[in-house]
Every structure is written in structure tokens, then in C-alpha cells.
Amino acid sequence: MKPRTTARVSNPIAALVLALPLVLAGCTTSTTQVSPTPSAAVESDHVHGISVDPASSRILLATHDGLYDATTKTAAKISDTTIDLMGFTATAEPDVLFASGHPGPGSSLPNPVGLIQSTDAGKTWQEISRGGESDFHALTVSGNSLVAFDGQLRTSSDGKSWTTSATSFTPTVLAGSPASTVVLATTQDGLQRSTDSGRTWQLVPKGPTIQFVAIATPTEKAPTEAVGITTDGNVFLSTDTGLTWAATGNISGQVEAVTAVENSSGKPSIWVSTTTGVQISTDGGATFRPASS
């Protein structure tokens, strides 16, 4: 097995795509020291992102107060310093994360932080680009690129230089995958879809008005499943990466973020962060239960 990439690689985004087989083969994450924090600290209206490692089932929550491991009932803050993680995305490597937002007490990062990267599962963060310039409220990995929104939609193949898109819509959520060039963007006017990592977009016709969306992490091939949730908690599934949708169920509570992982049943497992905690569905959104007990 090849070693994982580090922050010294010349093209960190491309390296993460090449590393995808490491995750699919079932590699586990490295051990990270965390300090216990009551779960109530993340059960708030300040969760901005969620990710689940398909190999270890580790649940990460990006919050107003930093990154938390919420795998167990008692959530644990991962980093020693506080960063308001407004934008957040996992990658093909469990220990490599991208984020954006604002520095908190004890952080030496600029305000806003621009694009930041962690190569140790969120314990420490380094500025990659646009420090003092960009607060990416929406951020995702797509293929060998990053797609982000800071008032303008931008794409980058290396995390350092950015191209501004000519599109004029404002995305609430951007959802992509290292294993695909498809990106989904939720907007007030409907779901936008890109097949070239955010360079061009088309409105999905006749689809539900989704507020939260995620492309399910694949287990063996390029992803085809996506999950969408409306403002009133109705859950929809797509088996063609966002082109068509079917209603499956409903989740109670105020939704903050969603992520999903494909499985052999054809119905992805779904994790949803709500104001009352993280809930999980193992039947494609038909029913939900607390993710930890």
C-alpha cells in the first residue's frame, strides 16, 4: 500500500484523487488525540458541515467552535485552537480535510482564513490560499479540483490559484466527490448540476427544491447516488447523481448538514446533523435514529 500524501505534495487535490483506492480498500484513520467535550457543545444551530469516513465510521462535525469527533455520544473537540469552520469538505484520505471560515482565540490564521488544509485529521490547520480574502461558506472536492463560494463561485485544481465562474447563482450547499466530476449546488431557484467540476452548470428540471444535498461516497466505483433534504425535512434520493429524484421519508428537527455513503443494498446510509444531534438512516432515508447512544 502506498503511503498517504502530505502537505508537501505539489498538487494536493490531484494527489487525493490518486489516493482514493486507499479509502476504498478499507484503510483506517490515524489516531488523533482529542479532548472530551459535552455533546451539547455541537448540538446547536452552528454545525456547518458533516463527514463520515466509510472505513472507520468516524463522524466529524465542522462547527462555529471548531471540528468535533461525534462518533460517540460524548463529542470531542479535535483541535486545540478554535476556528469557525463555515466551509468544510472531506477528501479521499480520511486525515486530509479542507475548510474555510474565521479564526478564533488562539489561532494565528488570517481573518478570514481563506482555504485551509489539515493533514492530521483536523488537529492542526495550515493556510493554503486566499487568506484575508475569502470566507468560503460552501466548499467541496470534485474530481481533481475544489469548488467553493465566497460571494463568487470559484474552482481550483491545486488549492492555490482560483478561476472565477461566470455563473450568477448563490449556492447554499455544494456537493461533490473525489471520484466524480459531478457537482450539485442547492439554490433558491432549484438544483444546479455541473459535470465538469464546477466550470459550467445547468438547472435540473422538475426537481424538488432541496436545501441540503450530498453525493454518497462510493464503495467500489464512481458515485451515482445522491441525497437531498428540503426545508421541511422531506428526504429525496437520486440514483443518477442528481438528474432525477424520488421521495423516501422525512426527518424531524432543524437540519444543518447531511452526508451519505453508498452500500450494497442500493440505498445509501445517511447521516444528518440536526439541532438535537446526529441522526442516521440505513434504509435510504425512510427512517432515522440517533447515530450514537
Burial of 258 (0-12, 13-18, 19+ CB in 10 A): buried
134-to-43, 61, 92, 126, 213 alpha-carbon distances in Å? 27, 21, 24, 15, 23
Q: Are 86 and 48 in contact (CB under 8 A)?
A: yes
- CATH code linked to domain 12-290: 2.130.10.10
Three-class SS state of 102: strand
In order along its 293 residues, the chain shows pLDDT tens digits of: 333 333 333 455 655 543 333 333 333 333 333 333 333 335 444 899 999 999 999 999 999 999 999 999 889 999 888 999 999 999 999 899 999 999 998 899 999 999 999 999 999 999 999 999 999 999 999 999 999 999 999 999 999 999 999 999 999 999 999 999 999 999 999 999 999 999 999 999 988 999 999 999 997 788 999 999 999 999 999 999 999 999 999 999 999 999 999 988 889 999 999 998 999 999 999 999 999 86
Burial of 126 (0-12, 13-18, 19+ CB in 10 A): exposed
Task: Report the C-alpha gap between 102 and 201 in whole angstroms.
Answer: 29
Q: Which three cell numbers stand for residue 81?
A: 485552537
Task: Report the C-alpha gap between 58 and 70 in whole angstroms.
Answer: 8
Q: Are 139 and 99 in contact (CB under 8 A)?
A: yes
